[in-house]
Homo-oligomer: A and B are copies of this chain.
Amino acid sequence: MTTNNSRQGEAVENLTKIVNSFYDQMDAGDIPAMQLPLRSKKNIEFDSRHDVWKYGNLRTDRTAKTINGAMMMLRTVYTVEFIDEMIRNGKSSTLREMYYISEGWGHGKFHTQDESNLLAEDLEIVSKCMREDFKLRPEEDGARVMGDLTLTEMTKKGDKKKINCLDDVGESGYGIPYNVESNKIDFKSCGAKFVIAIETGGMFDRLVENGFCEKYNALLVHLKGQPARSTRRFIKRISEELKLPITVFTDGDPWSFRIYASVAYGAIKTAHISDYLATPTAQFIGITASDILNYDLPTDKLSDQDIGALNAELSDPRFKDEFWISEIQAMLDMKKKSEQQALAKYGLDYVTDTYLPEKLTNMGIRL
């Protein structure tokens, strides 16, 4: 495995190559340009080597022929310089801070944070490195973990702190940091037999309170809605290195299906690093249209946005299998959605005594 320094060294090297290519093109009398994959659903292809969805071959050109394109290249050069400086000084920065730092970049100033976020992702694609190696952090908190997993986390001082995610943490669990690569986190031992990644904090707390970790040797990961990259990478590493089965427990609505898809297949926004982030073996144990009927769950009416999102999923290559097509179609037909906490209709223990044991057994997970 690459070490901290060599990962960052590679990032600087590859980023510098991008900037050098601008200069080389200008030296040759050409208007500098940069090629990027088209980043939309149209250009998502199945990568059978890694079993995940990645960008296909559709490309878009960014050139300095237009003022906007030239500005974007200026921003690229400034950003690369900023990243280089952070790595040299052992600092990191949130994406928001980088946006504000650009105040001092004259014409290279970003107009919106979307612009700077996208550029960070573009640089990942072109350099084949990860944002975490650029020392750029997102704003959101990492999610929480609870269960019998012992890991070491590298401290700022360079010590390795050993933490058991059941015994050494408070009730709120172990907080996943933004960098979860092996230079930061190492898995030491694991008594848990499988992972349940959970959409809502309320349900995470329910499983903790009901002693699900101990009773079934489960490792619980709180997804916090659409999961952060660090959470997805953490799950991927557990799946690969500890060979634990991964299950995803969400609400029953189109947005939750997307949460599952981003864990299992890769998200469209981060399709260039799906092989780092996605866990293709992850199984869905969230609320389905069938569950709404079988368990007679309290529901809400689908909104127009919900219906639009379900229809979009029907044309999303990631959802093109029998299970998803039939469940999405059934939800469109019944015009209803439901939440994971709706299982409380049958009392606070129903989810841990009945629903999850039934679903997990159906998925072939031995309890």
Point out residues on A near B: beta carbons under 8 Å: 86, 91-94, 96-98, 100-101, 103-104, 137, 139-142, 144, 153, 155-156, 161, 163, 168-178, 200-202, 205-206, 209, 211, 222, 224, 298, 339, 341-345, 347-348
Point out the residue from B101, B144, B206 that lies within 8 Å of A97, measured CB to CB. Answer: B206
A100 touches B139 (CB 8 A): no
Contact B97 A201 (CB under 8 A): no
In Å, the complex CA distance between A141 and B168 comes to 19
- B348 and A97 contacting across the interface, CB-CB below 8 Å: yes
Would you call A348 and B163 a contact (CB within 8 A)?
no
Chain B min CB distance to A239 (Å):
21
Contact in complex: B170, A344 (CB < 8 Å): no
Q: A201's contact among B92, B139, B161, by CB below 8 Å, is which?
A: B139
List chain B residues, Cβ under 8 A from A139: 200-202
14 contacts between A and B (CB under 8 A): A94-B341, A100-B339, A100-B341, A100-B344, A100-B345, A104-B345, A137-B202, A141-B144, A142-B172, A144-B175, A161-B170, A172-B175, A172-B176, A172-B177
Closest Cβ of chain B: how far from A231's Cβ, in Å?
12
> Which residues of B sit under 8 angstroms from A140, Cβ to Cβ?
201
Q: What chain B residues lie within 8 Å of A103 (beta carbons)? A: 298, 345
Contact B170 A163 (CB under 8 A): yes
CB contact between A96 and one of B104, B144, B211, B341 (< 8 Å): that residue = B341
Copy tally for this chain in the complex stands at: 2
Cβ-closest chain B residue relative to A101: B344
Q: Kindly identify which residue among B141, B170, B339 contacts A172, using a CB–CB cutoff of 8 Å.
A: B141
Q: What separation, in Å, do the CA atoms of A348 and B86 have in the docked complex? A: 10
Given A341-B100, A348-B91, A153 contacting B170 (CB threshold 8 A)? yes
A269 → chain B closest CB, angstroms: 20
Distance, CA A342 to CA B175, complexed state (A):
27
Chain B residues in 8 Å Cβ range of A205: 94, 137, 178
The answer to whether A341 and B170 touch across the interface, beta carbons within 8 angstroms, is no
Residue of B nearest to A173 (CB): B175
Cα separation A100 to B339 with both chains bound (whole Å): 10
Q: How far is the CA of A168 from the CA of B141 in the complex (A)?
A: 19
Q: Output the least CB separation between A287 and chain B (Å).
A: 12
Partner of A347, one of B101, B169, B201, B206: B101
From B93, B161, B201, B348, A344 is in contact (CB under 8 Å) with B93
By a CB distance below 8 angstroms, the chain B residues around A341 are 94, 96-97, 100
How many Å lie between the Cα of A234 and that of B171 in the bound state? 15
Q: Who on chain B is nearest to A93 by CB?
A: B348
